């Protein structure tokens, strides 16, 4: 834990500098004033609670597990999240992230109160895992006996090859203590942001796709992997969901994104689905 704390402190200090320099910049001519604004200015507690209207319902197993403050605290470890580009780009990236974690943890159903897309962050761990998600062929991140690498947290982090590097980056032993991800809401949000921000080749990072920094290779172009929310879905779960016209899971992700983009007052951008994309 000490390691985890010092890891975050490093970023906290640079965050503070970043923030204070933005106060200075706000007096300079237009164009620069948006830079350095913390994401809490783009997503207030009020907006967060409107987005996640039912996360604390007694019907939700994750009731009270995902407070706004934990999200903001976790985001300080990833100062590039929601701070790249102009305000439209920044709001769209945050909306896309929140939409993806909403699908991953959804408690919604077609006739749910306030609609199916008001039920994100309802679960903190996978309910009926089909396996322990141990890829034993992966020798870099070997599974610890008896541990389950099932989906946990906002992005439903799964598999030893994700728990290992996520824990390493965030300062805990993800292979020995995967339960950390559903025991601490700050760690839970950090694992989701880690996944969002980290490139895992040959995939780009979700962040780079949403902020316009993705450059497709020839193979990507041949596979229709062009930038947009659909490509982020491909990065997250394309092997199961992409290349299938009108897949219900893909449409659920899109539905969440459309609702959130509206609440953030931004357009969704092109390529919402991955119906005609090849997976990685
Ligand atoms: C924001 O940046 C994007 C990408 O650089 C650009 O296409 C868009 O026109 C910009 N929007 C505004 C409102 O400046
Ligand atoms: C997580 O919480 C469970 C239940 O309270 C506890 O048994 C376990 O030791 C905790 N694990 C970690 C890694 O903190
Ligand atoms: C790319 O998209 C087009 C339709 O827009 C489709 O006909 C084609 O099969 C797709 N290519 C791949 C590799 O999926």
Q: What is the pLDDT of residues 245-257, one digit of tens each?
A: 999 999 999 999 9
Tell whether 210 is covered by a domain: yes
**163 part of a folded domain:** no
pLDDT of 179 above 90: yes
Q: What is the CATH number of the domain that holds 252?
A: 1.10.530.10
pLDDT at 36: 66
Mutate to test the pocket of ligand 1, among 30, 35, 84, 89 (most ligand atoms within 8 A of CB): 89
Percentage of the residues of the chain whose pLDDT score is greater than 70: 87
Residue 37: per-residue pLDDT: 80
Ligand 3 atom closest to Cα of residue 243: 14
Is 278's C-beta closer than 6 angstroms to any atom of ligand 3? Answer: yes
Residue 23: pLDDT above 60? no
The residue whose C-alpha atom lies closest to atom 9 belonging to ligand 3 is 276
Bridge partners (DSSP) listed for residue 95: none
Asked, for residue 99, whether it belongs to a domain, the answer is yes
* Residue 63 forms part of a structural domain: yes
Q: Which ligand is nearest to the CA of 31?
A: 1
Count how many domains the chain has. Answer: 1
Residue 153 in any domain: the answer is no
Of the pLDDT bands very low, low, confident and very high (cuts 50, 70, 90), residue 12 is: very low
pLDDT in tens, 87-127: 999 999 999 999 999 999 999 999 999 999 999 999 999 99
Our mutation pick for probing the ligand 2 site, out of 166, 181, 183, counting the most ligand atoms within 8 A of Cβ, is 183
pLDDT of residue 215: 96
- Active centre residues (catalytic): 104
Please give the distance, rounded to the nearest whole angstrom, from the Cα atom of residue 82 to the centre of ligand 1.
15
Cα 87 to ligand 1 centre (Å)? 8
Tell whether 55 is covered by a domain.
yes
Instruction: Report yes or no on 9 lying in a domain.
Output: no
pLDDT at 210: 98
Q: What is residue 192's predicted lDDT score, i.e. its pLDDT? A: 98
Q: Tell me the pLDDT tens digit for each residue of 206-247.
A: 999 999 999 999 999 999 999 999 999 999 999 999 999 999
Residue nearest ligand 3's atom 6 by CA: 276
Q: Does this model's pTM top 0.75?
A: yes
CA dihedral for 186, 192, 196, 198, sign (positive or negative): positive
Give the residue, by CA position, lying nearest to ligand 1 atom 5. 85
pLDDT at 35: 57
User: Whose CA is closest to atom 7 on ligand 1?
Assistant: 89
pLDDT at 18 over 60: no
CA of 158 to the centre of ligand 2 (A): 18
Q: What pLDDT, in 10s, does the model give residues 28-54?
A: 333 344 556 889 999 999 999 999 999
pLDDT at 9 over 70: no
CA 59/CA 154 separation, integer angstroms: 17
Q: Which residue has the higher pLDDT, 232 or 3?
A: 232
Q: Which domain holds residue 208?
A: 37-122+185-263
């Amino acid at each position: 834990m000490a390691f985890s704390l010092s890891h975050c402190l490093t970023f906290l200090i640079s965050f503070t500098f970043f923030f204070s320099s933005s106060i200075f910049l706000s007096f300079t001519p237009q164009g620069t004033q948006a830079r350095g604004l913390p994401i809490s200015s783009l997503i207030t507690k009020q907006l967060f609670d409107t987005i996640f209207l039912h996360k604390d319902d007694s019907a939700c197993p994750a009731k009270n597990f995902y407070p706004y403050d934990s999200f903001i605290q976790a985001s300080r470890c990833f100062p590039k999240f929601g701070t790249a580009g102009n305000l439209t780009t920044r709001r769209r990236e945050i909306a896309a992230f929140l939409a993806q974690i909403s699908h991953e943890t959804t408690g919604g159903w077609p006739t749910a109160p306030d609609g199916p897309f008001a039920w994100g962050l309802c679960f903190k761990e996978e309910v009926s895992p089909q396996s322990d998600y141990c890829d034993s062929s992966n020798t870099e991140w070997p599974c610890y006996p008896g541990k389950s690498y099932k989906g946990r947290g906002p992005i439903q982090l799964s598999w030893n090859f994700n728990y290992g590097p996520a824990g390493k980056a965030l300062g805990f032993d993800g292979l020995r203590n995967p339960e950390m991800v559903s025991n601490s809401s700050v760690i839970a949000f950090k694992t989701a942001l880690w996944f969002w921000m980290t490139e895992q080749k040959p995939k780009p990072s979700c962040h780079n796709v949403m902020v316009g920094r993705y450059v497709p290779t020839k193979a990507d172009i041949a596979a229709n992997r062009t930038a947009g929310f659909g490509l982020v879905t491909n990065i997250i779960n394309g092997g199961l969901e992409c290349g299938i016209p009108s897949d219900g899971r893909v449409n659920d992700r899109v539905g969440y994104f459309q609702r959130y983009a509206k609440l953030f007052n931004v357009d969704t951008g092109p390529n919402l689905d991955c119906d005609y994309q090849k997976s990685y």
